[in-house]
Every structure is written in C-alpha cells, then in structure tokens.
Amino acid sequence: MKIALLGFGNMGKEIDRQISQSGAHQVVSKSLQQINGQSDVVIDFTSAEVVLSNIRKVAALGKNMVVGTTGWYEHLDEVKRIVKRNNIGLIYAQNFSIGANIFFKVVALAATLMSRFEDYDVYGFEVHHKGKLDSPSGTALRIAREILDKFPAKKRIQTERTNGRISTDQLHFASIRAGRNPGFHQVVFDSLADSITLSHTAHNRSGFAQGTILAAEFIKGKKGLYNFDAVFK
C-alpha cells in the first residue's frame, strides 16, 4: 500500500519509521503538495486548525483518509457530507492506540457496574506533553462520553477550572500539560469505603502508529465514514 503523510511531527515520523522498518507499505509523499495518483491512503496528523481544509482537498483528489488529528469533531456532519460527495473512505479516531481503545471498553463496563451503587462518584484526569495542541485530549473526551453513556448520575462534562462546588451531575475531567508525557489517562470511582482506579499509560508513540497503520489497511478501497471502532468490530 502506498501512503501519503500529512503532518511530519512526532506522530508522522513514528509512522514513517514503522513503515520503513516493516517494508509492508511505502510512504510516497510527506506533504499535501506532493500527493499524487500513486497514493492509496492519506494519513493526517496535523492540527485542528487545518484538518478540515486538508480533508476537503484530499477528498477532491479522490483519496481515502485516516485522520488522527483531534479537536475537529464539531465539523463531523460537514465531513460526512464531504466524504459522501466525493465518494471516498475516511476513518477517524480520538486515539488510534489499540490499548487505549480496549481501555474505552473497560471504562464503559466499569461505569455500567458502578452506576448501580449510588455511594460512588467518578472523575478523571489526563496528562500530556507540553507541546500538545488540544486540551482536553480527544481521548479524554471519548472516555468522558463512555462514562456519561453508562453512568446516569453524570449528565455533562466539566473540563474547565471550577470556582466553587461542582454540581453532582457534572463529570470533572482535568488536564495537565507539561514535560514529555505521550499520554496518560485515569478514571477513578470513589466512595467513602474505597476507590477503584483505572488508567492507561502510553510509554511512547509506537502504539498510536501501529493502530494508525492498521486503520490505513482497513480503509483502503472502502467508501464511507468510519470510526476506529469499526476495526475492532
């Protein structure tokens, strides 16, 4: 498979490294201007400010896409229209790490179980390196949605600083940006008697790159809009 990379930061470089080492695929371009007819799939790890423009341009070229950039999901309906109009395939995810996607399911199951016992409250927090562009992370928002879907006492997410008591129907999910951490997410179910803590720690970016390449293999030749959940199904 011939792959074009948009965004050659830390993630782009790790994807390029893994593809070069495996020899199973080939990176044929590393910028939007260089995308040519040979590309089977375009992988985007740029920024929320330019990703929608990138999707429009790549779709107009008739190329399938993997979008790992986060922070654009308010435009999801527009992206659906772009995908349909240009008859391409596009797969996106808040996190392409296979372990993180398993973690989503673990959190959902735990929230379902814990919601039956009113003594338990739930909260979360995440830590990323100081260069990360979005806060909270797309992964944190996905975890929060899993909790809101399964824990009826929580109706809305609070990611900003609180000045005073938090409402009992708010799910507080805090963010820290510092150092070099590639990604840490934790969920805590807390009661007077005890606490249950679930966490996912990314040791490096290799897991994200592995999942992204898996997504590219999945979307090649397909039409329509997919979430990474489709790969697991």
Domain enclosing residue 66, as ranges: 2-96+206-232
Q: Which of 210, 229, 203, 230 is nearest to 102 (CA)?
A: 229
Asked whether the bond before 152 is cis by omega within 30 degrees of 0, the reply is: no
- Residue 149's contacts (CB-CB under 8 Å, 6 or more residues apart) are 108, 111
How many distinct structural domains can be found in the chain? 2
Please tell me whether residue 197 adopts helix, strand or coil conformation: strand
> Do residues 89 and 105 share a domain?
no
Query: Which CATH number does the domain housing residue 167 bear?
Result: 3.30.360.10
Which among 25, 128, 185, 200 is annotated as catalytic?
128
pLDDT digits (tens, 9 = 90+) for 108-161: 999 999 999 999 999 999 999 999 888 999 899 999 999 999 999 999 999 988
pLDDT at 162: 82
User: Cβ-count burial of 154 within 10 angstroms (0-12 exposed, 13-18 middle, 19+ buried)?
Assistant: buried
Q: Residue 166 has what DSSP assignment?
A: P
Would residue 132 show up in a list of annotated catalytic residues for this protein? yes
Query: Which CATH number does the domain housing residue 50 bear?
Result: 3.40.50.720
> Do residues 6 and 69 share a domain?
yes
Phi, psi of 187 (to 5 degrees): -125, 135
> Do residues 76 and 144 share a domain?
no
pLDDT digits (tens, 9 = 90+) for 201-213: 999 999 999 999 9
> Do residues 79 and 158 share a domain?
no
> Do residues 140 and 194 share a domain?
yes
Dmax over CA atoms of the chain, in Å, equals: 62
Q: Average pLDDT, whole number, for the chain?
A: 94
pTM greater than 0.85 (yes/no): no
The pair of structure tokens assigned to 211 is: 């999942």
pLDDT at 182: 92
> Do residues 81 and 71 share a domain?
yes
> Do residues 123 and 72 share a domain?
no
For 175, how many CA atoms within 13 A lie in the half-sphere containing its CB? 21
> Do residues 84 and 107 share a domain?
no
- Residue 90's contacts (CB-CB under 8 Å, 6 or more residues apart) are 55, 59, 64, 65, 66, 67, 79, 83, 219, 224, 225, 226
d(CA 169, CA 156): 7
pLDDT digits (tens, 9 = 90+) for 26-56: 999 998 888 877 899 999 999 999 999 999 9
Which among 2, 13, 57, 132 is annotated as catalytic?
132
